[in-house]
A and B are shown apart, each in its own frame.
Chain A
Amino acid sequence: MTFKKLLLTTTSALVLTGAAQAEDYVIGVMSAQSGYLAPYDGPAYAGFQFCVDQKNAAGGLNGEYMVKTIVKDTRSDIAEGVKVVQEMLDDGAQFIVSSADADPTIAAAQITMADGIPTMTFAGTAPVLTQVGPHVFGSYPADNQQGAVLAAYARDQGLENVYLVKSPDSAYTLGGPEYFGEVFESLGGNIVGTSNYSLNQPDFSAIVTTIKAAEPQPDVIVTWAWEPDFPAFIKALRGAGLDTQVMGGDVLDTPTVRGLGDVVDGVVHTSGGFPDEGSDYAKFIDDFKAATGTTPDNNYYVNGCDIVNMIEQAVAAAGSTDPVAVTEAMAEIENGKGIMSDFTFKGTDRMPLRDVVVARITGDGEKEFVKRTKADPATLPKP
């Protein structure tokens, strides 16, 4: 969705909000239009609004509640995010959808805590984000689920020694490799070294040289680095002549990473979903493309849509739009119906238990399906 369209939607939503009727359900949306979150919030919001429009065209949530959205730009700035959340609450928001990362979600959840307004992140995956309070929800498979599934897959492939590359600058880039390492060791693997990097680090050659000198040599390197750090890392790694297997989190599931060419051939990563032929996900892609002209090229679009499905099912179970009732109903959902995958909040710490896909990038810039499974809740690493 272009910025102009977003402004138009936002403006019309704000006008409509002013005239909201009692049966309307008002959802406030934090959506960064600039800064580091824009690549994730943008697609997630596009998918979210697409499905809101679909629901409203069919008579609203469960045919009862027309959804009114208040959409505000946070510029990827946490202080700005806190401000716009307060504004949206003042404008009557009954549900807040927060940016696609743990840190802005945690900040937003501090504001929504007093009124118990349910708050759900677009795609934040660090399981610590729900620790703020019982009103906070994840929507995407959490890092510990992804780490556990990927570690089990790595052990199944006979890989024994892992080198972890992580950044303490964000919960995501730190947590993912650590969860992987914890499960990998519990399954009999060894961590042969770790390196820390800074977000937007200019150069990865020193880390690569350290990996080359590791003894014993790793047979897999795991990182949850995102763009532009991952492209820089993999270029430095392959440029130094190391062809070690590399694995990473769902953030590698992007056309940018796949477009890097030979250097990413064989890289394995987790993902929230895979559009198998004939699946609901494949139909979503076709419908979205037909309606907007844009082809969803990552999972944030469909996950944005699934957030609407989660809200609808919680409101149906609650039997009302009361924030506390919706929160309690959301936490009890079991095998809820989603498009990317089904979801269960019951028995979790409100990071939904969902399918985790393992995929492999091919040299021609495509990704191929490897496996789909759920993490075992009993063995999940604790946040």
Chain B
Amino acid sequence: MDLIIQQSINAISLGGVYAMLALGLAIVFSIVGLINFAHGDIMTFGGYGIFLSLAFGMSPVAALAIGIGAAVVMALTLERTAFRAMRGADVVTLLITSFAVSEILKVLFQNTISARPVPISFPAAWSGTYEIGGATIGVVPTVSIIVAFVSLLGLTLILRRTATGMAMRAAAEDLEMLKLLGVRANRVVAMAFALSGLLAGIAAVIWTAQRGSVDPMMGFFPVLKAFIATVLGGLGSLGGAVLGGFVIGVLEVLTQAFLPDGLSPYRDAIVLALVIAALLWRPDGLLPAQNANRS
């Protein structure tokens, strides 16, 4: 029973990070049709923001805030300098642009900061444990779950209860119509990038707190998983992205925990096979967007 509780916490914790990253991808995709593979580098930039803040002697809490802010600034910068000029281009062109931006950022990180991982050391008290029903639970995974859920809840409120959020949802339905109604499209798109940067920054905080280092490739692998999650959930569907993130996280932890040793090298293949099976069953994703983009 303890084992099940602990692995469940692990699964929800990992799923929460994937869900936030997937949601960041989905927000941008739903509005401008961009699958932003530089999203991982925005997360990495947030991680370096934390590292540099700590290196300059700032308090850990201030460093976390700066890390999140750095990710938002980077997301807005990329939107203005790289993606705005490409708006309206087809999906493949946008995809290649995002790969190019991602590669440029990785090389910049490597040559201006370090090719190897740099350590991030938070206070020891932040990585303690507590007991629930005999199970020992880590503070960091618990905080990451709470932060993930609060972030997702906050974003839902923004999207559903604020004028900007409604404009973003309307833009996701029909950007041209939004412009005809007099809404400033650039502002709505920039807001979408800012929110995706915010989610990437929060993910960077959780990720670095759990992993203890930042390297130029830090964001690549989780965003790859998050991309799979958005496809599984339904490209362009915000709810689907969240669901997909949690499904991928749970599948990864369960296969890691319970597959026999001999099968463990096939873990990723098994997870991806299950994703393919789900997409064969529901080709538009688990929770398809209304204007669904078939994966």
Chain A contact residues, CB within 8 Å of chain B: 3, 34, 36, 38-39, 42, 168, 194-198, 200, 202-203, 205-207, 209-210, 212-213, 227-228, 231-232, 234-236, 238-241, 254-263
Contacts and interface: CB of A to CB of B under 8 A. Distances in A.
Contacts of A260: 119, 121, 212-213
A238 B122 CA distance: 13
B124 A262 contact: yes
B213 to A, nearest CB: 4
A239 B210 contact: yes
Interface of chain A, main secondary structure: helix
A39 B115 contact: yes
Given A228-B213, A228-B218, A232-B212, A203 B252 contact: yes
B169 interface: no
A206 B253 contact: yes
A206 B7 contact: yes
Interface string B220-248: 01100100000000000000000000000
B69 to A, nearest CB: 23
B86 interface: no
A259 B121 contact: yes
B211 A235 contact: yes
Interface string B117-141: 1110110100111000000101111
B interface residue count range (under 10 / 10 to 19 / 20 to 34 / 35 or more): 35 or more
27 contacts: A34-B110, A36-B217, A38-B115, A202-B221, A203-B210, A205-B13, A205-B210, A206-B10, A206-B252, A209-B10, A227-B117, A227-B215, A228-B117, A232-B213, A235-B140, A238-B127, A239-B129, A239-B138, A239-B139, A239-B210, A241-B129, A241-B138, A256-B118, A256-B119, A257-B119, A259-B121, A262-B121
B275 to A, nearest CB: 16
A3 B107 CA distance: 11
A258 B116 CA distance: 13
A209 B257 contact: yes
A198 B221 CA distance: 11
Contacts of B265: 168, 196
A106 B141 CA distance: 41
